[in-house]
Copies of this chain bind each other. A is one copy, B any other.
């Protein structure tokens, strides 16, 4: 799938599809995936909605449990982003009711850090997943893609593999290799690299990177991005043809050597 992306990107004159954001995640009939976002904080719901919309999916939002159930019935989503803490009844209750209507819907829970242990254990058994607030948008998107992929929404060619030149990433195994050699990355380094590998040959600004890779409540300086780029370079570029390039005054690009 990455190969496909790169080809369309490299063929200039070709009637270039504006962007192929969904990365091959579609409904079996080819229509865009539908996602319902349920969170009582409007700004967060809106943030998620706009990001997912940009991924090429169809989005509805709901601010409480009963609206969520009603919207689910009418909208027939393929996946639900579900805050476990809702004003009326909690996420697990919503899940029960929604499952009565849509038995196969994928659910990604959004939970507060401390409420992880008690409530949500066991949800991953059903194939569902969760992320803890505050999360990074990359993480939400990646997990959502994972759920949808496993639920059979992936086109044949699109697996969990990313590649740029001799750099390869297996998202499921969380393994990164350069020229076959395994490279150990920390969580943040991995997410940063994933974001870059998902957008090869595109210059990404530090602001863009911060917005996608760091938690949405991160209040620090864009300077961290430089730091982590430097970590990444040490691990994947040192002593080799560099794949990560600085574009001064703009940002960074990941691309094969010229």
Residues of A in contact with B (beta carbons under 8 Å apart): 12, 15-16, 18-19, 42-43, 46-47, 49-51, 53-54, 59, 92, 95-96, 99, 103-104, 119, 121-128, 130, 137, 149-152, 154, 156-157, 159, 161, 168, 170, 172-174, 182, 186-187, 201-203, 205, 207-208, 210-212, 214, 216-219, 222, 247-250, 253, 255, 258
| Contact partners of A18 in chain B: CB under 8 A | 149-152, 154
Known: A124-B211, A124-B212, A186-B249; 6 extra A-B contacts, CB below 8 A, are: A12-B161, A12-B168, A12-B170, A59-B103, A123-B207, A173-B202
Shortest Cβ distance from residue A107 to the other chain B in the assembled complex, whole angstroms: 9
Chain A interface helix/strand/loop/mixed: mixed
| Contact partners of A15 in chain B: CB under 8 A | 156-157
Interface pair A159/B12, CB less than 8 Å apart: yes
**A173/B43 contact (C-beta < 8 A), A12-B159, A104-B53, A211-B123 known:** no
Task: Closest B residue to A19 by CB, please name it.
Answer: B150
Roughly how many angstroms separate A19 CA and B146 CA in the complex, as a whole number? 11
Roughly how many angstroms separate A9 CA and B34 CA in the complex, as a whole number? 28
Closest 5 A/B residue pairs (Cβ): A50-B126, A54-B127, A187-B249, A15-B156, A125-B211
| Contact partners of A53 in chain B: CB under 8 A | 103-104, 126
Q: Which of B51, B203, B250 contacts A125 (CB 8 A)?
A: B51
Roughly how many angstroms separate A227 CA and B205 CA in the complex, as a whole number? 28
